[in-house]
Amino acid sequence: MLLFVGLGNPTPDSENNRHNVGFKVIDYINKKFGLSKQKPKFKGLLTTGNIDNKKIYAIKPLTFMNNSGICIRELIEYFKIDAQDVIVFHDDLDLEFGKIKAKFGGSSAGHNGIASIDKFIGKDYSRVRIGIGKPKGEMDVADYVLQNFDEDESTDIEKVSEHIVESISFLVEKKLDLFSSTVNNK
């Protein structure tokens, strides 16, 4: 049993924000693998299904980015999911736009959603970091992550989501290095 978590903010005006790339990936996984219809549960939108014969729960927390850990803790306690079986998809300013890296554990690197999850379930879970690049010029980082993707970036994020889906077997098997190298070579 695995839990996929996509980080983002639940307001309609946040839907296409850079900070919501985790939500976009979960939506893409749900669609491609025919997971159940989203249901509001555990302070998030929950779907279930199977990928590679493995039970998958996928959730988009509705608690806003800075409180994502509240939703995750409730869900893993209810279903008895080990933190090591949690995989979080989130935006990363320190990665070039469209680059993807998966890792187990580590620091939040200033990402408030990750910091919240660390607070509520510890640091022993996997993260799939999706590069959104850094702001150009003097733009504030908070303003940048809350900006919408432009049309070209939206198309590229769709391709990134497709590459994640094509390589998802490596995530399900927890082969994070193979996932990272495969997904970035597509």
Specify whether the CB–CB gap between 111 and 28 falls below 8 A: no
Pairing of strands 86-92, 2-6: parallel
Specify whether 19 is catalytic.
yes
Question: Hey, what are 163's tokens?
Answer: 């590459």
Pairing of strands 86-92, 100-104: unpaired
Of these residues, 19, 90, 111, 163, which one is catalytic? Answer: 19
- Cα separation of the two ends of the chain: 27
Rounded to 5°, angle at Cα 109 from 103 and 115: 90
SS3 12: helix
Q: What residues are annotated to the active site?
A: 19
